[in-house]
Amino acid sequence: MPHIVAIGGSDAGISAALRARELDPSVEVTVVVADRYPNFSICGIPYYFSGEVQPWQSLAHRTAADLEATGMRLRLDTLATEIDADGKRLVVRNADGSLHVISYDELVVGTGALPSRAGIDGLDALTAADGVHVIHSMGDTFALDADLEARRPETAIIVGAGYVGLEMAEAFTARGIRVTQLQRGPEVLSTLDPELGALVHEELAAHDVEVVVGAAVGRIEKTAAGLSVSGVRDGEPFTRTADLVLVVVGVRPNAELLERAGATLGAGGAVVVDERMRTGIPHVYSAGDGTVTRHRLLGTTYLPLGTTAHKQGRVAGENALGGDAVFAGSVGTQVVKVFDLVAARTGLRQREAEAAGYSPRTSTAAADDHKRYYPGAHPIRFRITGDVRDGRLLGAQLVGTLGTEVSKRVDTYATALYAGLTVEQLSELDLSYTPPLGSPWDAVQVAAQAWG
Amino acid sequence: MPHIVAIGGSDAGISAALRARELDPSVEVTVVVADRYPNFSICGIPYYFSGEVQPWQSLAHRTAADLEATGMRLRLDTLATEIDADGKRLVVRNADGSLHVISYDELVVGTGALPSRAGIDGLDALTAADGVHVIHSMGDTFALDADLEARRPETAIIVGAGYVGLEMAEAFTARGIRVTQLQRGPEVLSTLDPELGALVHEELAAHDVEVVVGAAVGRIEKTAAGLSVSGVRDGEPFTRTADLVLVVVGVRPNAELLERAGATLGAGGAVVVDERMRTGIPHVYSAGDGTVTRHRLLGTTYLPLGTTAHKQGRVAGENALGGDAVFAGSVGTQVVKVFDLVAARTGLRQREAEAAGYSPRTSTAAADDHKRYYPGAHPIRFRITGDVRDGRLLGAQLVGTLGTEVSKRVDTYATALYAGLTVEQLSELDLSYTPPLGSPWDAVQVAAQAWG
């Protein structure tokens, strides 16, 4: 009976373990988990802080008992410290500091990512005890929670306005904390074009979040007045002071374990794998946020997303069992809810497509989510990118009011990208229509027709 | 300057005219409209009766003035009575009874469909003045409206439980009219499998609609007690009496004009066309509910839908102008809102697929619309049909609570059907995820994985 070992209790490691047990209930599977919180939905943490999700235990996709009921063994509070690939052995450190060796037949590494620190002076010296937080693990969550309870901060600075930063701005606002959001780029949610990011910016402002764009944060320090965040904006120095600082400026791959074992690092410093999630080290797979991403339009890149980690983990788990699964690739589909707005994208934007050698053109459109005569219709704003040479759809961005089905409308584009459809073919799709929920030409088709 | 004439003021005729004017603003376009209501959203009529849409004028996709502003000429209250294909002339009858001849270079016929009468005794002799209604045109709408205002009926029998019948049951209920809904088949909404139709049945019952399935209506008559609808159910006679009767048992193609001009009738008695919407009569195209439907999984069939009429009309309008557009085909995507439930389907069901020579298997699944820990999650019920020989997706049916994005989730399957994907490939799609609106494996993927 082979022994499959997965490192990492988050999406990739657990998906690999579940898939292996699903395909062969006789296989021995061990998951090595650095903390006590396997299979937690990290994406759900902002909704714990907003108060929408309580208690924190409900953030678990599955409980430890659920996971063990599938027949896998969990080793919690156990840190993988070294891979002996020749001996097919994994060295782990238990909570009491003791070392232990686990023999494996196949190893799936899903060590994920670590919060980026973006080269901000002073950040390394400040911790949750100082009121300066990152938010990437349940440990970070408990530390922030304790700080909120103990100090009852009235003001917070959020450094970063990506997905998590925006969700946390909403969460803090929901708790009555006044938020200042600092964004380095020209507009919030820089994964969208600024024309659409501006709609998210307006939504934040409408909920009394102070948004400062073009703000390059250089330093965080403790002062008598509170935590001071300073930097440069439009060539001028700026400073904001608040009771609490949250730094959410992206992640970097946690690839050190595999690097020491001889794996190659590639895009973004992530572990290089082939489409079967093989690292090149015999019997060692890598999946999830520590791993490069095969992108159907870009080739190999680094784009850490939970959806991708699930898929990569599933492929790795199947192949660890002797299967021949292939990770079909991401198209970079992402969505975020910000107060009463939903913003989504898939594929490439104009500049990304240019950089990748396409000949893109991007057009703007607006179309109602459903027939205007039926109550509650709202316009959805679109940006559609296609290749002028062959008409191929390259990407779509859309922003609409919560309830306009933006999150599942982007899936139509994502499916079209997967299948390699042209922008024109979107008009051939037989999409659903009823007046309360759509139009005879769905909004996604109206936007595509505007590209023509 | 060529003269393109379109017959029919609904989806197909207007789409053809709009497309021609869009492609060549110099072309002369005339649309012959039998009534005074061009480009009305027939699908929206139930929402007029529910009171959600007021006034009736807002049901127009575009006003007559909007249409004329595109440069087309409208001939309202004008009935096309004869096509002289050799002479490229159309005979029309004006409102005053006078005949008139219109010369055309290219003719697009979009005469649509007529309400089916399902062979019910007594129906032909009863009209709106008797309290017996059909609902297919604005004229029918005004007649029903006037009857509701004049007689204030307290009870209604709806014969039929398809899309319009269900929407009208909701509309009448919203106005305080007690509804009895009679359905010939074993379950309401017979376009879905009975397992899912039963959920719609429950929703109707929860809103105090009396649903009688397996009820073969044989006769409608006026009695002292009101309008009496009788027939056979489970081998036993049944009778229901109400103040008003609405018969909504489907439609039949209104193909007589083209048949007399020499067109061939095919599936369902509809006009046969090729994929360019050509009838075979030189310079004469047909589009919309009077026309056969190219179905990507079935070949040629009859499946009248507004979405298809728009697409067929657009193709006909482009080709009438000398273009070479092809109607890519329907996959039969449909959706309906019934009270707080949304039901959708695309592609084929088990028996339909068997009859078409596929080797289908159908499986059932349920999956939450978004992460259960976030408030407001609801299960969506699925039926997935795929071909066991090659794994190809053949169809999907889904029913969920209003707000679970069922109507745009079915579009992912519809897009997959268009592209010919397998059920397994659905798990490779990079669909959007955020906890309030989805899951790392979207519900549509969970359902597909259950098919495996």
**What is the tens place of the pLDDT at every residue in B87-137?**
999 999 999 999 999 999 999 999 999 999 878 999 999 999 999 999 999
Chain B, nearest residue to A339 by Cα: B436
| pLDDT beneath 70: ranges in chain A | none
Check if B422 contacts A (Cβ < 8 Å): no
**CA distance to partner chain A, nearest, from residue B48 (Å):** 9
Beta bridge partners of B113: B253
Check if A155 contacts B (Cβ < 8 Å): no
Cβ <8 Å between A433 and B307: yes
| pLDDT beneath 50: ranges in chain B | none
Chain B, nearest residue to A54 by Cα: B373
Note the pLDDT of residue B117: 84
Which residues in B lie closer than 8 A to residue A414 (C-beta atoms)?
429-432
Q: B11 and B311 in contact (C-beta within 8 Å)?
A: no
* Nearest of A75, A44, A74 to residue A57 by alpha carbon: A44
Q: Which residue in the list B23, B43, B79, B118 is annotated as catalytic?
A: B43
Note the pLDDT of residue A119: 87
Cβ <8 Å between A307 and B433: yes
Place of tokens 């779509």: A396
Chain A, nearest residue to B409 by Cα: A408
CA A73, CA B86: separation in Å to the nearest integer?
81
Check if B306 contacts A (Cβ < 8 Å): yes
Note the pLDDT of residue B199: 98
ipTM: 0.97
Do the first three CATH levels of A3-112+252-320 and A128-247 match, i.e. the same topology?
Answer: yes
The topology (CATH level 3) of A3-112+252-320 is FAD/NAD(P)-binding domain (3.50.50)
CB nearest to A374's CB, from B47, B342, B415: B47
Cα end-to-end span (Å), chain B: 58
Check if A21 contacts B (Cβ < 8 Å): no
A380 SS3 class:
strand
Cβ <8 Å between B429 and A414: yes
Cβ <8 Å between B436 and A47: yes
Contacts of residues A375-383 at CB distance under 8 Å and 24 or more positions apart, as own/partner, are: A375/B52, A376/A403, A378/A403, A378/A404, A380/A404, A380/A406, A380/A409, A380/A443, A380/A447, A381/A195, A381/A196, A381/A199, A382/A443, A382/A444, A382/A447, A382/A450, A383/A192, A383/A193, A383/A195, A383/A196, A383/A349
Largest CA distance in chain B: 69
Check if A331 contacts B (Cβ < 8 Å): yes
CB nearest to B411's CB, from A336, A412, A418: A412
**What is the tens place of the pLDDT at every residue in B317-371?**
999 999 999 999 999 999 999 999 999 999 999 999 999 999 999 999 999 999 9
Which residues in A lie closer than 8 A to residue B415 (C-beta atoms)?
412, 415-416, 419, 429, 431
Which residues in A lie closer than 8 A to residue B418 (C-beta atoms)?
419, 421, 425, 428-430
**CA distance to partner chain A, nearest, from residue B309 (Å):** 9
The topology (CATH level 3) of B128-247 is FAD/NAD(P)-binding domain (3.50.50)
**CA distance to partner chain B, nearest, from residue A148 (Å):** 21
Cβ <8 Å between B408 and A403: no
Sign of the CA dihedral with A45 first, then A49, A53, and A56 last: positive
Check if B410 contacts A (Cβ < 8 Å): yes
Q: Would you state the structure tokens that stand for residue B72, as one six-digit string? A: 């087309």
Q: Kindly report the CATH number that applies to the domain delimited by A341-451.
A: 3.30.390.30
Check if A429 contacts B (Cβ < 8 Å): yes
Note the pLDDT of residue B119: 87
Q: A380 and A366 in contact (C-beta within 8 Å)?
A: yes
Instruction: Bin B264: left if φ > 0, else alpha if -120 < ψ < 50, else beta.
Output: beta
Which residues in A lie closer than 8 A to residue B171 (C-beta atoms)?
none
CB nearest to B328's CB, from A53, A419, A428: A428
Which residues of A have a catalytic role annotated? 43
Domain range B3-42+52-113+252-320, its CATH number among 3.20.20.220, 3.50.50.60, 1.20.1530.20, 3.30.70.20? 3.50.50.60
Instruction: Bin B405: left if φ > 0, else alpha if -120 < ψ < 50, else beta.
Output: left
**How many CB pairs below 8 A link A and B?**
209
Note the pLDDT of residue A117: 84
Q: What percent of chain B has pLDDT over 90?
A: 99
Check if A405 contacts B (Cβ < 8 Å): yes
Q: Residue B55, preceding bond cis, omega within 30 degrees?
A: yes
Check if B208 contacts A (Cβ < 8 Å): no
Check if A165 contacts B (Cβ < 8 Å): no
Note the pLDDT of residue B8: 97
Neighbours of A133 (CB within 10 A): 23
Note the pLDDT of residue B371: 97
Note the pLDDT of residue A93: 98
Chain A, nearest residue to B23 by Cα: A452
Chain B, nearest residue to A404 by Cα: B405
**What is the tens place of the pLDDT at every residue in A37-54?**
999 999 999 999 999 999
Cβ <8 Å between B431 and A437: no
Place of tokens 């298997």: B361
Check if A53 contacts B (Cβ < 8 Å): yes
Structural domain boundaries of chain B?
3-42+52-113+252-320, 128-247, 343-451
Cβ <8 Å between B431 and A344: no
Q: Kindly report the CATH number that applies to the domain delimited by B343-451.
A: 3.30.390.30
Best of A191, A399, A415 to mutate (most B CBs within 10 Å, chain B): A415
